[in-house]
Structure 1
Amino acid sequence: MIPDQWHPGSLLAVSGSYWHTCTLHTGVKLGIFTALGDNALTGSELAEKLGTDGDGTARLLNALTAMALLEKKDGYYRNTPTSRTSLSKDSDQYIGYMILHHHHLMESWNRLDEAVTTGRPIEEQLPISREDRRENFLMGMFNTASLTAPDLARAFDLSSRRHLLDLGGGPGTYAIYFCRENPQLKATVFDLPATRPFAEKTIARFDLAGRINFLPGDFTTETIPGRYDVVWLSHILHSEPPDVVISLIKKILDILEPGGILLVHDFILDDTLDGPLFPALFSLNMLVRTESGRSYSEKQITDMLMAGGFKTVTRHPFRGPTESGVMIGTR
């Protein structure tokens, strides 16, 4: 968190805040909160259960207690209500996938100076399989999207719409919530083939397999099949350069029915590009992670949608907790 005023103490606090980050990441990565569940265990019992060093485990547990993520009484540790709900993998509100995704980003961010110097993304060498990283990313997207999707689904009147395309929709989170909010709506999730098992599992979990289907493909290189009266494009633009974005917008225009709408959801910078904070920092994340990705401003997004063929572009008043917003293009 950025302080209201900078001084030596606040500078050092921000500089050392990675201690908190690494402690949280380690707790999730080792499965501390999942192992505790609803139980109270000693440090020795947890160390034996997890196969970790006793002294190291005790230090971690005490630090997590100091961070108010665990409670300790008479040598026994237990989850707080928040950690039981959000950090135990047995909870349906588990956000650990996104936390582990953040953990996997740390190697790149630690070399931010290299990316700024070269203008190139960082090549990583992580001791984790591609499949595990894909799961953490996709289910992490589900974690975070689930925090805003209910509000977003209620923010738009789709009562007259019949078929929604969730383009690059990952596990289908937004398609799920739009369909739950609009009983007449059917949806298609279009994403890379490797995403399919995660999407179909998530869609089935919400009992919507009869209304939401998955189409495999790469929208940057392939034709998008079907016709739709609403297209949802969430957190896609920031991964691509303007020319690719405009090409994609043209493809979307071609598959929209007359009167159809494109809803673009992304982190949106001010037109001065120096705020809000999260989109500005996220643009650095795109620098270390992608060849040409970046955060875009409202004007930049408007210009790209109009260059792609949309005549009317407006911004919806919705503001997400990380300064995400929605731009609307009408055919």
Structure 2
Amino acid sequence: MIDAVGKRAVDAALELNVFQFLGTDPREVSELALQCGVSVRGLKPLLSLLAALELLEESSGRFRLLDTTADFLKNWPVMRSSLTDAPDWQELPTVVRTGKPARDPIEGEKDGGDFFSGVVSTLFGFHLPLAKNFAAQLPPVRRVLDLGAGSAVWSLALAKEKPEVRVVAVDHGKVLEEMTTSFVEEYGVTEQYELRPGSYHEVDLEEAHYDLVYLGHVVHSEGWDASRTLLARCLQALKPGGLVGIAEWIAAEPRSADYHACLFDLNMLMFTEDGLVFNASELERLVTEAGFSDPEWVEGPGKYPVLQARR
């Protein structure tokens, strides 16, 4: 069954003539984007989602129509009438054309933490089992930096079990006041935390000071360039031999093999300036290019493992 966003994706592809320009021979995204008059950034996640819906075939980053696509499109007007809608996604065709969100992006300069202060509570229980699993396999650490802390679920899992750990949690003031504080108090570790308000791109950080830096579901909203800058900050803040832990959605290879990761990737297109869902090799490339070594994936109870790398 196609969900509300899937419905919008099919409608957008029809409006942008994606199906018309695709054939049964595999096509490069850049070539198709030129023909459709849209951005590569916008078209790539749209195609992956359509492939995850089994309307296209994806192979080595190239796409083609399936033999069944024509029949599906013939029946689409009747089918779509029974599907739920996603009003927030009406501007998807425009966003695919431009590659930029049609309204102020979440986590942009004007957001100030408004969006995430409303969702971190829900995400806490979802991430806690994996955070505990990751904390249990860490070597001894004392000084921890939690960037984009949110509920501080990643560092809390460690601080609760290790009273000697001291954490600096960085996030927008609104998030720290409305969310982080309540979780830290609930877990009884207030004395172990310093809450440092500000942007993790700009707030002052000590150099060569920390044993561990957490990036818990941060880089997907940053994109390539800002993630490189952020990882450079992490490297500078870590002691030699210190670790960075990156928890993320991980795109499958091919991307269309994981519908929910494709859906989240399309969310990043729709609601962030440069965000995307990286695949495992892309994340490893990010950390090694930033100067980290020994990238290692730590499996746990969640769907996606945590990437660990060393300064």
Query: Take 1:197 and 1:114, find their aligned partners in 2: how far apart are those partners?
Result: 36
Q: What does 1:38-117 correspond to in 2, within 5 Å? A: 107-117=87-97
Q: What is residue 89 of structure 1 aligned with on the other side?
A: none
Equivalent residues in 2 for 1:287-302 (5 A)? 287-302=269-284
Could you state the TM-score of these two structures normalised by the residue count of structure 2? 0.66
Higher relative CO (Cα under 8 Å, sequence separation at least 6) belongs to 2
Q: Does 1:172 align with 2:152?
A: yes
Q: Which whole-Å CA distance do the structure 2 matches of 1:209 and 1:112 have between them?
A: 43
- Paired amino acid for 1:302: E
- Partner of 1:328: helix, strand, or coil? strand
Alpha-carbon distance change, 124 to 107 in structure 1, aligned in 2, over 3 angstroms:
farther
C-alpha distance 269-218 of structure 1, shift in aligned 2 (>3 A): same
User: Is the CA contact (8 Å cut-off) linking 2:131 and 2:153 kept in structure 1?
Assistant: no
CA displacement at 1:281 relative to structure 2 = 1.1
Q: Give SS of 2:116's match.
A: helix
| SS of equivalent to 1:259 | strand
The 1:183/1:287 distance shift into structure 2, 3 A limit, reads same
1:256 to 238, 242, 252: 238
CA distance in 2, matches of 1:133, 1:264: 20
Q: Tell me how far apart the structure 1 counterparts of residues 54 and 100 of structure 2 sit (CA, whole Å).
A: 33
> 1:119-130 alignment to 2 at 5 Å?
119-123=99-103
Gaps of 5+ in 1: 20-105
User: What SS class does the counterpart of residue 190 from structure 1 fall into?
Assistant: strand
TM-score, length-normalised on structure 1? 0.63
Q: CA deviation at 1:13?
A: 7.6
User: Could you tell me which amino acid in structure 2 is paired with residue 296 of structure 1?
Assistant: F
- Unmatched tracts of structure 2, length 5 or more: 4-52, 56-70
Aligned with residue 144 of structure 1, among 110, 123, 127: 123
Query: In percent, how many aligned pairs have the same letter?
Result: 22
**Contact 1:223–1:251 (CA under 8 A) maintained in structure 2:** no
Cα offset, 1:234, TM superposition: 1.0
Q: Secondary structure at the match of 2:247?
A: strand
Where in structure 1 do 4 or more consecutive aligned residues deviate above 6 Å? 1-8, 10-15, 130-133
Distance 1:176 1:210 in 2: 12
8 Å contact kept, 2:133–2:300:
no
Contact 1:318 1:325 in 2 (8 A): yes
Kept in 2, the 8 Å contact 1:232–1:263? The answer is: yes
Secondary structure of 1:327 counterpart: strand
Q: 1:307 to 1:326 in 2, by over 3 A?
A: same
Q: Please list, as runs of the form range in 1=range in 2, the aligned pairs for 1:10-25 lying within 5 A after superposition.
A: 16-18=82-84
Q: CA deviation at 1:158?
A: 3.1
